[in-house]
């Protein structure tokens, strides 16, 4: 077995970790979690750990406070991912919450909206305090009202679009179960641009949330299923409108595909906004004077933000880095997840009444925490053909 070099405890991760940002104490940081979990993994040589090794039951309460954003890996000199380490340790130490999350994602999706409507009629005063964040999360699944389009889009006829390779849409769990209109809108836009759009109703969950939950076998099954669907379609480009889905799907090239297939997958995995080149907006009366934009953690390079700013220049970026939706933080610590969402919304000026984002999960999370009068939308909600 190859023994990896573990965390050097340099502390670079403290500056980017949204959980540490909430507490301001080093025991909540990625480096502290690694100090506790690396001896449990067995894959790391960590001189910082000494002779002390804790059992998972002693470590779990602290280690589970992770939003799954992956920012720690991005700044780590050794490119160590605390998210990956936590997934491995969780996989080796199963807990009932992981099983419940598996069932919630794989089996209960068609009932999500019903749970949202039921939660909406439960008064806060009669709900136990520990249940309130979960009720808010369920309520966030319900659309607060149709956003009127800010602009009709058309392609500039002078702009060349490469339509030779067909395109299929990967909608993800949220769009499939509670926001089908996003898939319809994305499809209409791509067809208007001249792309050959292949229907792919058999795509399932991307598997990203299963990785964070430590359900690694389930994750592999989801990867294998989605790749089989892609192959059956003739290996088209895969267009995505959710940052978290794109992040998980990008990993298929490293874990489930090889050589030419991995290259074809990587080259074809594309944000929908990137395919809508040469977009010319026809403004509508409902376009606000300014709007907020929440940048999802899982865009390696956020193409949506720049594309939106070209259409609607009055964009204001939020000051808080993470909404708290990622991974299974809503299950492992719903109260912390909600505090992060509230802080994220607080990072916008109070005059901002409409916030857009390019991640399905972020829409649900921020919608659940938004105050009355603040609208949270996917960017697909505010454009039309």
Please tell me the distance from the alpha carbon of residue 292 to that of residue 348, in angstroms, as a whole number. 7
Cβ within 8 Å of residue 136, ≥6 positions away = 119, 338, 368, 369
As a whole number, mean pLDDT of residues 310-329 equals: 90
Pairing status of strand 237-240 against strand 269-271: parallel
Please tell me the distance from the alpha carbon of residue 304 to that of residue 311, in angstroms, as a whole number. 11
Contact, 221 vs 274, CB < 8 A? no
Q: Are 226 and 263 members of one domain?
A: yes
Angle at 79 between CA 213 and CA 307, to 5 degrees: 80
pLDDT of residue 173: 94
* DSSP-assigned letters across all residues of 236-274: -EEEE--HHHHHHHHTHHHHT--HHHHHHHHHHEEEHHH
Residue-wise pLDDT for 214-228, tens only, equals: 999 999 999 999 999
Among 119-128, 256-265, 319-328, the range of highest mean pLDDT: 256-265
pLDDT above 80 (res 131): no
Please tell me the distance from the alpha carbon of residue 250 to that of residue 186, in angstroms, as a whole number. 20
Contact, 42 vs 93, CB < 8 A? no
Chain centre distance of CA 252? 16
As a whole number, mean pLDDT of residues 280-309 equals: 90
pLDDT of residue 1: 46
pLDDT above 90 (res 53): no
Please tell me the distance from the alpha carbon of residue 292 to that of residue 347, in angstroms, as a whole number. 10
Q: Are 63 and 178 members of one domain?
A: no
Q: What is the pTM of this model?
A: 0.91
Q: Are 133 and 278 members of one domain?
A: yes
pLDDT of residue 296: 94
Q: Are 72 and 197 members of one domain?
A: no
Cβ within 8 Å of residue 371, ≥6 positions away = 345
pLDDT above 80 (res 336): yes
Q: Are 182 and 197 members of one domain?
A: yes
Question: What range does the domain containing 45 cover?
Answer: 4-93
pLDDT above 90 (res 265): yes
Cβ within 8 Å of residue 138, ≥6 positions away = 115, 116, 118, 119
The percentage of the chain sitting over the pLDDT mark of 70, rounded to a whole number, equals: 96
Chain centre distance of CA 137? 15
Q: Are 15 and 113 members of one domain?
A: no
The percentage of the chain sitting over the pLDDT mark of 90, rounded to a whole number, equals: 63
Q: Identify the domain boundary among 93, 111, 137.
A: 93
- Number of compact structural domains in the chain: 2
Angle at 151 between CA 148 and CA 155, to 5 degrees: 140
As a whole number, mean pLDDT of residues 55-66 equals: 82
Distances, alpha carbon 351 to alpha carbons 178, 294, 345, 346, 355, in Å: 29, 15, 12, 11, 11
Q: Identify the domain boundary among 93, 125, 141.
A: 93
Tokens 């998972």 -> residue: 56
Q: Are 132 and 215 members of one domain?
A: yes
Q: Are 190 and 304 members of one domain?
A: yes
């Amino acid at each position: 077995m190859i023994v990896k070099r573990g965390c050097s405890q340099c502390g670079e991760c403290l500056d980017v970790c949204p959980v540490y940002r909430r507490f301001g104490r080093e025991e909540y940081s990625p480096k502290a979690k690694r100090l506790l979990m690396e001896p449990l993994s067995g894959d790391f040589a960590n001189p910082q750990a000494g002779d002390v090794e804790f059992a998972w039951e002693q470590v779990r309460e602290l280690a589970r406070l992770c939003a799954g954003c992956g920012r720690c890996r991005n700044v780590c000199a050794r490119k160590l991912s605390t998210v990956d380490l936590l997934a491995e340790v969780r996989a080796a130490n199963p807990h009932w919450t992981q099983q419940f999350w598996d069932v919630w994602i794989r089996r209960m999706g068609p009932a999500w909206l019903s749970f949202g409507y039921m939660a909406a009629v439960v008064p806060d005063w009669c709900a136990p305090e520990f249940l309130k964040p979960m009720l808010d999360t369920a309520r966030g699944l319900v659309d607060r009202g149709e956003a009127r389009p800010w602009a009709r889009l058309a392609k500039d006829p002078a702009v060349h679009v490469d339509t030779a390779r067909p395109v299929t849409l990967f909608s993800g769990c949220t769009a499939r179960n509670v926001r089908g209109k996003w898939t319809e809108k994305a499809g209409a836009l791509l067809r208007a641009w001249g792309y050959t759009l292949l229907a792919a109703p058999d795509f399932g969950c991307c598997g990203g949330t299963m990785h964070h939950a430590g359900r690694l076998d389930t994750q592999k099954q989801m990867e294998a299923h989605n790749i089989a669907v892609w192959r059956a379609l003739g290996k088209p480009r895969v267009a995505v409108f959710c940052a978290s889905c794109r992040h998980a799907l990008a990993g298929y090239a490293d874990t489930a595909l090889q050589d030419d297939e991995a290259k074809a997958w990587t080259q074809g995995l594309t944000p929908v906004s990137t395919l809508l080149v040469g977009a010319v907006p026809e403004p509508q009366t409902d376009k606000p004077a300014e709007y907020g934009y929440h940048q999802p953690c899982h865009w390696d390079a956020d193409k949506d933000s720049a594309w939106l700013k070209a259409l609607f220049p009055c964009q204001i970026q939020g000051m808080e880095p993470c909404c708290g939706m990622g991974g299974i933080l809503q299950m492992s610590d719903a109260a912390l997840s909600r505090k992060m969402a509230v802080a994220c919304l607080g990072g916008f000026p109070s005059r901002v009444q409409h916030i857009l984002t390019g991640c399905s999960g972020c829409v649900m999370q921020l919608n659940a925490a938004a105050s009355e009068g603040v609208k949270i939308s996917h960017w697909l909600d505010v454009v039309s053909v």
